[in-house]
Structure 1
Amino acid sequence: GFKLVYKAILDNGTEVAVKKVFCLTKGIQREFENEVKLLSRFHHSNVISSYGYSIENETGFVVYELMHNGSLETQLHGPSRGSQLSWHRRLKIALDIARGLHYLNELCIPPIIHRNLKPSTILLDSNFNAKISDFGMAGVVAGGGGKEGGLSRSLNFLGKTGPIAPESILNGILTDMSDVYAFGVILLELILGRKALEMSEVSGQECLVRWARGVLTDRHVMPNVVDPVIRGTMSVNHLNQVGLKFKFDAIKIHPDRADIIYAYYIQAGVIAYLCLEDEPKYRPLITDILNSLVPLVPVGLGGTLIV
């Protein structure tokens, strides 16, 4: 369906975004109704808030909180090419997404699987806090939580446009592990500053994911493929704190910037690598992802790293 987004101001002075959806088909109208129904349930700082909606003459309107810095897609791949996104800020965005996903997958009753997680559905407020949006394809799953044999809370695979996990391509089923895979793709884009499908034309690889999994944990290669915008921008003190927290011997023995900088990138790369495992049973739970990201984010940005 065709969509337009307007900026508006409520009577009380609150700035909002108004999405106008031309519900030309039953499928698009179903997505719209699904989204507004789910939004009314959500109460989390990393999930977009809605003020209300209406449907009239096959046209739907949803009023959202205004996200001044637009989408992660625009910030990373638009005209600024990620220049507003420091390494600290990128990891904070990843942590925000993980917290929002944990809320949807684990804390909502019944659980929610987003099914369309990608940079364009991650919105950033004026302070670059990230919020998950666009729930038209999301699914409410009957049954409990937990990870059973790596596949749980399965949903029919319909209309998916975000990063697609291998098992979803094979059997048409999406699970919470599919959302974890999509998160891994977003983390990959944050680290490398490239679109998920951009490199296939340049390198001849199938896609960025296939190429990157070969370098994400390589201490010699990884520092050289990180987004040039952020490469080498962290302070030595920050890197040393990361090294001490994760007990990197190389940082203790060789405290020069060039030799230790790989360690921080490697930690983020390992998380992405695990999320992108072909077999869903080998991917981490979203709770494990949270626990792995928190030590990499400075205290002032919601993590536990002291810099």
Structure 2
Amino acid sequence: MVESPYRLRHRRLMDTAPAAAISSDSGHSGSNGGMPIMVSILVVVIICTLCYCVYCWRWRKRNAVKRTEIERLRPLSNSDLPVMDLSLIQAATNNFSKDNKLGEGGFGPVYRGVLDGGSEIAVKRLSARSRQGAEEFRNEVELIAKLQHRNLVRLLGCCVENDEKMLVYEYLPNRSLDAFLFGTARTAHLDWRMRQSIILGIARGLLYLHEDSYLKIVHRDLKASNVLLDNKMNPKISDFGMAKIFEDEVIEVNTGHVVGTYGYMAPEYAMEGVFSVKSDVFSFGVLVLEILSGQRNGAMYMQEHQHTLIQDAWKFWNEDRAAEFMDASLEDGAYSKDEAWRCYHAGLLCVQESPELRPTMSSALLMLISDQTTSLPSPQRPPLFARTKKAVSPSGYSFGTETTSKTQSVNDVSITMIQPR
């Protein structure tokens, strides 16, 4: 029987319906399988975009902070101190070559340089790893640029460029006092006249800071490595990164941020964070006793003698054995005993435990230059310090110290307590 066209068309439609249904199901299944891949790719893209945005934000913030620091420093430099180009300093120091490196402190390395005209300079470069930063840099620029005295190191200029912060000083060929003083071959060059001149020069420099300049300044880190010597062995106090300006009516300040070097810090500052001009007087007294004895008042001395240099000095003085305290390189007859004993006596008065008993720098200088010793009071016992860590000798041309929220020094030695004998 021949099928009608209508039936034939109907049967063809019925045959193709299942195939279409199968094709539709197959497409739906493939779509479901691709969804997880698309979602994963989208998540990865979103995460990468977020990370990039965070990186860009932090980069912009970091650069903004650096720009702010530089902008804060530039107005000061332009108004108070000559600004030197980075290219000029790089040329002077042979691009900060190792051969020109003089030493390194908490601030960073110090380099010798020679300018086009032949003038020698010392460049103090802030290290990226330094604990000191823009505040200490600004502090030193603010203070030393305004201070002029023959016994203070002279700041010639600064550089704030391309994330670099540098201070440019006069070059002092004999470097620091500790390079001559403590058991080196150069100690023999320090005769009595030279030592006395260095003591008086340091005293005059401190007196200027405390009383004679229009700013009342406490140095807070006076030590042998921060006393530099020119070609005539004249002393110049350096490193004002930790110095503080006092208002006229302020006598002392209490701070929780103690900085300094073991053996030189006054007990009230080391233990309680209280500093004043009498803190510098204590450090000066330690320096005087070190210059007389040729010994460092540090942990190495304590390890060898079981007590500090200043305790030994007091003991020899009380037992009338002052001559035994003097540096062995100063032979009998090589120095004036009256002058030496006057320095010895003044040094012991400066390192007394109570700040009220210590003289001011004007009184200390008068003691050193006066012929009258009979009217001086008897010194009291100096403080006792407890050693806690081993000492590491600092470099000779440090120009800096480390700063922490705890009592710390460049020799990695801290003061922890005062104990009675």
Q: Same fold (TM over 0.5)?
A: yes
Aligned-pair CA distance for 1:36: 1.3
DSSP-derived class of the 1:45 partner: coil
DSSP-derived class of the 1:38 partner: helix
TM-score normalised according to structure 1 size: 0.80
Aligned-pair CA distance for 1:234: 2.4
DSSP-derived class of the 1:101 partner: helix
Matches within 5 A, 1:231-250: 231-234=331-334, 239=336
Q: Cα RMSD over matched residues? A: 2.0
Match of 1:245 in 2: none
Alpha-carbon distance in structure 2 between the residues aligned to 1:26 and 1:189 = 29
Larger % of helix: which? 2
Among 158, 162, 168, the alignment partner of 2:257 is: 158
Match of 1:223 in 2: 323
Among 169, 188, 201, the alignment partner of 2:303 is: 201
Deviates more, 1:280-289 or 1:104-113: 104-113
The letter for the 1-side match of 2:345 is V
Match of 2:348 in 1: 273
The answer to whether structure 1 residue 288 and structure 2 residue 363 are counterparts is yes
DSSP-derived class of the 2:188 partner: coil
Structure 2 regions of 5+ residues with no counterpart? 1-105, 372-421
Q: Is the 8 Å Cα contact of residues 222 and 265 (structure 1) preserved in structure 2?
A: no
Q: Deviations over 1:16-64 (max 9, x none)?
A: 1111122446743321221111111011000010110012344311111
Alpha-carbon distance in structure 1 between the residues aligned to 2:245 and 2:214 = 9
Alpha-carbon distance in structure 2 between the residues aligned to 1:40 and 1:267 = 34
- Give the share of equivalent positions with the same residue, in percent: 32
The letter for the 1-side match of 2:346 is I
Alpha-carbon distance in structure 2 between the residues aligned to 1:71 and 1:157 = 30
Matches within 5 A, 1:132-151: 132-144=237-249
Among 133, 150, 155, the alignment partner of 1:50 is: 155
Distance 1:13 1:295, change over 3 A: farther
Aligned-pair CA distance for 1:268: 1.5
TM-score normalised according to structure 2 size: 0.59
Q: Deviations over 1:58-107 (max 9, x none)?
A: 43111111111110011112632521111111111010000000010112
DSSP-derived class of the 2:207 partner: helix
Aligned-pair CA distance for 1:110: 2.8
Match of 2:126 in 1: 21
Aligned-pair CA distance for 1:212: 1.8
DSSP-derived class of the 1:131 partner: strand
The answer to whether structure 1 residue 185 and structure 2 residue 286 are counterparts is yes
Alpha-carbon distance in structure 2 between the residues aligned to 1:9 and 1:78 = 31
Matches within 5 A, 1:32-181: 32-77=137-182, 79-80=184-185, 82-144=187-249, 152-154=251-253, 156=255, 158-162=257-261, 163-181=264-282
Q: Is the 8 Å Cα contact of residues 154 and 175 (structure 1) preserved in structure 2?
A: yes
Alpha-carbon distance in structure 1 between the residues aligned to 2:318 and 2:190 = 23
Aligned-pair CA distance for 1:192: 0.6
Alpha-carbon distance in structure 2 between the residues aligned to 1:233 and 1:120 = 29
Structure 1 regions of 5+ residues with no counterpart? 146-151, 240-260, 297-307
Query: How many residues in Structure 1 have an aligned counterpart in Structure 2?
Result: 263
User: If you compute each CA radius of gyration, which structure gives the higher value, 1 or 2?
Assistant: 2
Alpha-carbon distance in structure 1 between the residues aligned to 2:314 and 2:183 = 25
Q: Is the 8 Å Cα contact of residues 23 and 59 (structure 1) preserved in structure 2?
A: no
Distance 1:26 1:227, change over 3 A: closer
DSSP-derived class of the 1:47 partner: coil
Alpha-carbon distance in structure 1 between the residues aligned to 2:134 and 2:172 = 24
Alpha-carbon distance in structure 2 between the residues aligned to 1:115 and 1:178 = 7
Q: Is the 8 Å Cα contact of residues 181 and 187 (structure 2) preserved in structure 1?
A: yes
